[in-house]
Structure 1
């Protein structure tokens, strides 16, 4: 396993991590979640990601049970959770000081932990003043309930404002952003966030590196019954599933098929190629993967050996297929 610094901090996270969105507490039961987390840990993954909203808090519960069951040394783990959607009450959502503090306490109780390493603002909250948000996350850190705080799917302008508030008040600024990033979703990370990486030393822990499985090639011939897109009671999965029949969906499936040809040349799977492509980006601290089976984690970790194979020539061949490189002067670091 490779470990990378989380932005400009001294904290090291595994470049591949395991997240619980959709899967733990929802798609699979606690026993499978435990097996997956143990497999990940045994393979060197130290970063596990969840959120208060995942399966109504059950994901945090299942992950917490696994951590206690295996008796892992706390310093060997990097645990993150995210605050925004905590319930149906008027103060159970958003980034008010009240919800940030109470939501964090509730998450820690479900996780059975004294603290999380990383605490994210799961979405921006235009209804709460930025000073209140920054002060609240600093309070949580000062109380020892989190070590670092960050954002998820915030705009560059919002993140810049948070940094300005923190600098003005001599407070801790957000260290990391958790955006969606994959071969089909690139602009924000490869273009919009470049000033944040350069000026603030922000780290990025990206989600959906396989575009909810699309980039694995598993949907080239339809939707398998045990796949993520087959989940019926999830609005996001339904939208993605319906999109496969659109013109854009068919174009993407064709591109995935062509990417599969490159993967064959490199003696790897299409999923491993897509993960390695994300890891190639030097601004990515960790690629958050999902898994409903331990075997999927074992296969995902093999993407590490593919990264050195992504030469400039191979990367150029990938770009010829994707045809979506953002208009910027950004380039991946050569091997």
Structure 2
């Protein structure tokens, strides 16, 4: 009799089920250093304790995506160990900055189920909440993942699809305590472009590219204690390729976005996200952003902070640069609503910028 956790399969999930995930994880300065070694990040707030203090943050936070990756990794053994792929995100809010010394624990609730027509897999929707050692919420998000069935003869559950908001309302964004951009240092930050310098509909090419390698994406995924088989085991996929963790692509795209969005210092929310194609070692990742909206909640008056809603798109190679869908005029004719083949990630975020 084995004592090893084989993970949950689709038929093991029930709507309303609450899963408390194992192995709380303490964030260290080593996480900051490792993140900077893996991704070309240059944002001033997580890079410089002095800069963070100058904008009112009493302790030097790590990148928001470090907290996201750690919290996400906790969920994998219970939710996506037997996944085909992670499909998307919604309603992700960052409630407070994470600093070295914080211990992150995560639990999830199953909020939706739908068996696929092939009878071999199904989509599981969960809402996950990460807390620190003081039981304060650090971040929360919804995601949906395609999971294998163990028993193909197991009956399909009743289909339940959650009603998820397409965007986090600006008034629901959480401004970190003390954050004040009124004395913001453009030179130290790296670019002069502020809230009023961006227009809705504007597209920004982030120019640089990074080629994926197996050692780096597997190291990153291990760092976040993500144990999904498809990222490490060549026998877990029929094609024999290790699938790059979608969060690795998110962090690369976010780091590349410094070119043109250096002052988008903090991610306040992820409104939606989709991994539209798989990524593998050897792919070269480029990124671009589109300004979707701008907001200045009344409660932020006097802080010098505004919010940009940005679509962050990662592509495989320059051939898909500035292209999102096949029906995009820049992509020529195609099937309406279909992503262009080289698009890997379509992420919709709110970012905090100086006004």
What TM-score results when the alignment is normalised by the length of structure 1? Answer: 0.26
Name the structure where helix makes up a greater proportion of residues: 1
Name the structure where strand makes up a greater proportion of residues: 2
What TM-score results when the alignment is normalised by the length of structure 2? Answer: 0.25
